[in-house]
Amino acid sequence: MSVEPGREESDRLKAAILEAALDPLVAIDERGRIVHFNRTAERVFGYAADEAMGAELVELIVPPAERARFSEELAARLDASSDVVPDRAIGLVAMRRDGTTFPMEIAIARVPDVEPAVFAGYIRDVTDRKRTEDRALKQSRAIADLAQARGELVSQLILAEERTRERIAQVLHDDALQRLLAAHQDLLEAQGPEGVERARKALEGTIEQIREAVAALHPVTHQQGDLETALGAVVRQHAARGGFRHTVRVESEASGLEDALVLSAVRELVANVANHAQASRCSVSVERREDRIWLEVADDGLGIPPGRQETALREGHIGLASTVQRMKAIGGDGEVSSTVGKGTVVRASIPIGYQAGGAQSA
């Protein structure tokens, strides 16, 4: 036979349950003044229960900057005429006695059958959840950034392939094909030794021109340690097209380490000079400084108007800005200095052994 507990015993049981709660629990009247402050609330906020009793909840545990917003939301909960339990907690920053803060949520509900009205506030420290949410947000942003970077790289690769095809077509059509056609015509019209000699010279010139084009377009065929020769072939091809004088200087200590990437970067930068700079001079230098290869391409051309690099990169064009980005992506560095009417200087560095995770090449 069960015995219903008396009112006094029931109140003691409820009080014990409230005191044993693992989360802070407060009770406030309809004016927002604290009428109960459990032990967990004492521990979390640093106030003894007798200190908290009678204080306004907003003034006690809410930072000044948050009080106006919290007071407005709290007023909507302290409507004694309503029996509706709010379907969401109030999220805000809470303040401890020592002034430190933490993110919390407080769910407020009216205690039934109590007059005058009393409202229970169930408080939860959501620091761990916020930290997890922030970490997830950062990860999602990082994934989005990687996806965007991947898209940009794919676009750049497609454009690079297209430009390579254009260069091959330009080299073969503008000079080599014309020479071959001239040699063919000379052979058809050959009249004695002079006609044959003209055809022979035309063919030899075409062969040499195609060799240089192959070396410039596919310089990985150069011998190990012969970076200066390979760069010379690249620069000569573009200098002939752009009509500028050129110099190439490669320190012996810089050759044979990261040649493929140096050649790729210089090819792109010098092509940009030929296409856009209208320069009379262009210089290329490569040197080693400790664990990096440094390259510099300078011209005395038109220069770059402010903002043009950023606009070109957003539009998907590859060139100066993308070359600098590629250097930074592998742990190197790069910068573009330009003055309108005076020319442009591009400096970039490549970590030695970056493909092996940063270990230096022997």
3 state DSSP class of 87? coil
In the prediction, which pLDDT does 358 show? Answer: 40
Which residues, listed in sequence order, are joined to residue 336 by a DSSP beta bridge? 346
Q: What is the pLDDT of residues 204-216, one digit of tens each?
A: 777 766 766 665 5
pLDDT grade for 281, boundaries at 50, 70 and 90: very high
**7-125: what fold?**
Beta-Lactamase (3.30.450)
Q: How many residues does the chain have?
A: 362
Determine contact, residues 80/117, Cβ cutoff 8 Å.
Answer: yes
Q: What residues does 168 pair with on adjacent strands?
A: none
Return d(Cα 220, Cα 225) in angstroms, integer. 11
Say whether 221 sits in a helix, a strand or coil: helix
Ordered by start, the domain boundaries in the chain are 7-125, 127-217, 223-362
Q: Which residues contact 109 (CB under 8 A, 6 or more apart)?
A: 85, 86, 119, 120, 122
Extract the tokens encoding 317.
Answer: 């064009």
| Helix ranges restricted to H, 85-224 | 127-171, 178-188, 193-217
Quote the mean pLDDT of the chain.
76
Q: What is the mean pLDDT of residues 338-351?
A: 87
- Superfamily holding 223-362: Histidine kinase-like ATPase, C-terminal domain (3.30.565.10)
- Bridge-based pairing of strands 292-299 and 281-289 is antiparallel
Helices (H) and strands (E) in the chain, counts: 12, 10
pLDDT, one tens digit per residue, over 299-315 is 998 888 776 655 544 44
Which residues face 122 on adjacent strands? 25, 107
| pLDDT level of residue 291 (50, 70, 90 thresholds) | confident
pLDDT at residue 299, rounded to an integer? 92
* CA–CA dist 142, 160 (Å, integer): 26
The SS3 call for residue 310 is helix
d(CA 160, CA 157): 5
Number of neighbouring beta carbons within 10 Å of residue 78? 16
